[in-house]
Structure 1
């Protein structure tokens, strides 16, 4: 019965126990979030080895800074924020262009409901999605990842990236338009 209670503990309880030295609580926290974090880093890098490295670096950083987590957001949001910075560092080390130079503030959403979000969710863990996302800039990929797969609000994404909410919306819709074109011309179109 004690094991069943441990499995149902929320992140807040596990964090408190981990801060008090419970290795099993830390392991449970990692296990609970490793799939989400790995999927995030894999879609951001399109490389399994790099994704695993970034996942490990992120968890090490989270472990070192766990006492600084103020619980103003969910643990998952904070974890993805840490992963965001690790991905940014990764791209800087690789000297990969992060911004594509577009001015997405000028791009308006046409308001149509015909967007590739459903198809992207169906492709979430597939190689096809990673191929489609690799055609996006780092920033576009990040916004799509956070909005569609991590289901953050535009405001949460804006806070994480240091942008305005309207800029994030513009960039999101521009990314969807680009993905829609790529999806139409791919083997993954429904």
Structure 2
């Protein structure tokens, strides 16, 4: 609730021309938007480009933001739309191969052993997510990485809650099956 009020105040100041308020708003959400774009595109430079497009669109549309929902949700809807448009424009198949996951996307400041383990775990997770259809991957992203409720996901995507739950269940079953296969092999 506190962040919501803080966001509203920053938006109000940014609309009045305060550059520092806009920069504060961008800094607050740039990691969230970048990581979302990275998990959807599996490419750090594409994610960076998309993040810039998202914030440009947010800035241009800020006067149209009505404040009837959370700013974060409104902004992430723009991010989802920009990412979908990007994937369509590139003609990329949403079912990426594990090879598409960049090796330098995950950094850590721990020991080399811990860094390698974290890198390997993240790479496996990204590779497994890459096998999911785009609509299932989006639901997993919003539920587990963005911590949205089913109601927020429904509002964000325009899809019924029951359909979202079905997509999430199907995605989790596929991921579970992949984990079981990996643990056997």
Instruction: Report the TM-score when normalising by structure 2.
Output: 0.78
- In structure 1, C-alpha distance between the alignment counterparts of 2:144 and 2:172, rounded to whole Å: 10
Structure 2 residue aligned with 1:92: 88
Task: Using CA pairs under 8 Å that are at least 6 residues apart, name the structure with larger relative contact order, 1 or 2.
Answer: 1
The alpha carbon displacement at 1:51 in A equals 0.7
Q: 2:61 aligns with which of 46, 62, 65?
A: 65
Structure 2: give runs of 5+ residues left out of the alignment. Answer: 96-117
The alpha carbon displacement at 1:126 in A equals 2.9
The alpha carbon displacement at 1:134 in A equals 0.9
Asked whether the equivalents of residues 154 and 168 of structure 1 are also in contact (C-alpha less than 8 Å), the reply is yes
- In structure 2, C-alpha distance between the alignment counterparts of 1:50 and 1:154, rounded to whole Å: 28
SS at match of 1:126: helix
Structure 1 residue 156 corresponds to structure 2 residue 152 = yes
- In structure 2, C-alpha distance between the alignment counterparts of 1:96 and 1:64, rounded to whole Å: 27
SS at match of 2:40: helix
- In structure 2, C-alpha distance between the alignment counterparts of 1:32 and 1:186, rounded to whole Å: 37
Q: Which protein is richer in helix relative to its size? A: 2
Structure 2 residue aligned with 1:50: 46
- In structure 1, C-alpha distance between the alignment counterparts of 2:22 and 2:58, rounded to whole Å: 11
- In structure 2, C-alpha distance between the alignment counterparts of 1:43 and 1:96, rounded to whole Å: 15
SS at match of 1:185: helix
Instruction: Report the TM-score when normalising by structure 1.
Output: 0.76
Q: How many pairs align?
A: 157
